[in-house]
């Protein structure tokens, strides 16, 4: 067995997740958010099934190129990018870009002339479990103005783009975003600018501990809103990351030690923490499930922490985590549904701990 900790991703589960999403939204283009799990085997698998790829950096573009992905299947979806990186992406053959400011639009026009663009606006959707806040997205009014400006700059307008926030639990969030996108599309039509697509971003939730809305229920809201607010000529693009790979991953870790603190609370220290794979436990937004070889023994609450000497490397101290009272150093522990935003968030070598290694299992069946 590889040295702990490590992540195992089941590519058959990824394939099944992709097919479920395709069946739920059969006319929607699925664009995998590479940042969720930048693993070559998964990129090649999704390519075989017809996915496109949302890339956030030149590094991700190079990763996809090395995996055999045609640049025409990529969209440089990060609105925050240097002019040099736009030029490098364009030189590599990428011809689709997202933006949310006039500055970035001007950089795209200068360094990626004639490319297709999507303008990201900040929708009025309810807050998700891991919200972006106002880091990304302009107002819908500004998105309309910038897309008109894009035409003046010789760029091709794909259409508006919104994201309802990661791990969104309210299906109506997509209805709100699509309605706002529809208003932008209608305003563009009045200027004789016809959009080819509306990008509804990612945010599809998966179940960690608590139940989440069913994929079919979200799809029903999306399709109803599309029929109501968008013209037939505007196709949908969706950019899942977590929904494709989250449930396919399991982290294999080890208990480093168990301690009773002066306040009487039990602390369980693992060889994996916030800096080598568990970044999404920040603010305890994501509650992962733990499986041990001592399951069935009596349980009690525990604070769960990582192995570094950083005081912030604590995974759960407010969330009620029940672990066997018999846990000891050296015990193996599995962390479920950890296929998304674990290895990709892992640091280079904080405190000398190496980043999380990834193993891919399962023979892909076509």
Per residue in 149-162, pLDDT (tens digit) is: 999 999 999 999 99
Of 201, 216, 245, which residue sits at a domain end? Answer: 245
User: Does 58 map to a domain?
Assistant: yes
What pLDDT shows up at residue 47?
98
pTM for the full predicted model: 0.94
For 199, how many CA atoms within 13 A lie in the half-sphere containing its CB? 31
Task: Give the CATH number, domain containing residue 150.
Answer: 3.20.20.10
Domain-terminating residue out of 223, 245, 267: 245
Strand pairing class (332-336; 290-292): antiparallel
Q: Smallest Cα–Cα separation from 316: which of 349, 363, 278, 355?
A: 278
For residue 16, the SS3 value is helix
Q: Is position 5 within any domain?
A: no
Q: Identify the domain boundary among 197, 214, 245.
A: 245
Strand boundaries in 74-115, DSSP class E: 74-76, 96-99
3-state SS class at 357: strand
For residue 71, what are the CA distances in angstroms to 23, 124, 252, 347, 364? Answer: 26, 33, 35, 28, 24
Q: What is residue 131's predicted lDDT score, i.e. its pLDDT?
A: 79
Q: What is the residue whose two structure tokens read 């960690």?
A: 208
Under DSSP, the state recorded for 70 is: -
**Res 363: pLDDT:** 56
Are both 164 and 127 inside the same structural domain?
Answer: yes
Is the pLDDT at 205 greater than 90? The verdict is yes
Domain containing residue 343:
247-361
Question: Domain containing 316 — which CATH number?
Answer: 2.40.37.10
* pLDDT value of position 365: 46
Q: Give the pLDDT mean for 20-47.
A: 98
Spatial separation of the C-alpha atoms in residues 226 and 231, rounded to whole Å: 8
The tens digit of pLDDT for each residue in 275-329 reads 999 999 999 989 999 999 999 999 999 999 999 999 999 999 999 999 999 999 9
Give the mean pLDDT of 195-212: 95
Three-state DSSP state, 270: strand
265 and 141 in one domain?
no
- 286 and 355 assigned to the same domain: yes
Structure tokens given for 221: 């809201």
The average confidence (pLDDT) of the chain is: 95
Q: Which two tokens stand for residue 240?
A: 């899942």
Average pLDDT, integer, range 261-277:
96
- The percent of residues above 70 in pLDDT, for the chain, comes to 99
Domain count, the chain: 2
pLDDT (tens digit per residue) in 229-241: 999 999 999 999 9
Same domain assignment for residues 304 and 223: no
Asked whether residue 159 falls in the same domain as residue 38, the answer is yes
The yes-or-no verdict on residue 364 having pLDDT over 70 is no
């Amino acid at each position: 067995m590889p040295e702990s900790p490590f992540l195992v991703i089941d590519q058959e589960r990824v394939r099944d997740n992709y097919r479920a999403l395709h069946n739920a939204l059969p006319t929607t283009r699925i664009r995998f958010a590479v940042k969720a799990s930048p693993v070559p085997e998964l990129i090649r698998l999704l390519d075989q099934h017809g996915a496109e790829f949302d890339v956030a950096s030149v590094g991700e573009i190079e990763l996809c190129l090395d995996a055999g992905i045609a640049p025409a299947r990529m969209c440089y979806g990060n609105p925050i990018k240097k002019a040099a990186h736009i030029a490098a992406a364009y030189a590599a053959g990428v011809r689709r870009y997202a933006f949310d400011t006039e500055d970035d639009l001007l950089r795209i026009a200068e360094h990626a002339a004639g490319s297709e663009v999507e303008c990201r606006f900040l929708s009025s959707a309810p807050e998700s479990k891991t919200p972006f806040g106002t880091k990304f997205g302009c107002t819908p009014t500004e998105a309309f103005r910038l897309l008109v400006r894009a035409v003046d700059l010789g760029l091709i307008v794909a259409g508006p783009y919104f994201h309802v926030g990661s791990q969104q639990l309210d299906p109506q969030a997509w209805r709100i975003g699509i309605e706002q996108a529809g208003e932008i599309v209608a305003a563009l039509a009045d200027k004789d600018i016809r959009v080819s697509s509306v990008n509804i971003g990612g945010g599809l939730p998966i179940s960690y501990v608590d139940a989440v809305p069913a994929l079919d229920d979200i799809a029903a809201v999306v399709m109803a809103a599309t029929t109501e607010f968008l013209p037939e000529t505007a196709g949908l693009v969706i950019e899942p990351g977590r929904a494709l790979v989250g449930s396919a991953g399991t982290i294999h870790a080890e208990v480093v030690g168990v301690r009773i603190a002066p306040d009487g609370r039990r602390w369980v220290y693992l060889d994996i923490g916030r800096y080598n794979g568990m970044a999404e436990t920040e603010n305890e937004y994501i509650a992962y499930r733990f499986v041990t070889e001592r399951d069935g023994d009596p349980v009690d609450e525990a604070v769960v922490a990582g192995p570094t000497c950083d005081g912030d490397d604590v995974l759960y101290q407010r969330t009620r985590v029940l672990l066997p009272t018999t846990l000891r150093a050296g015990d193996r522990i599995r962390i479920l549904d950890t296929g998304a935003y674990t290895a990709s968030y892992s640091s280079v070598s904080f405190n000398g701990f190496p980043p999380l290694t990834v193993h891919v299992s399962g023979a892909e069946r076509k």
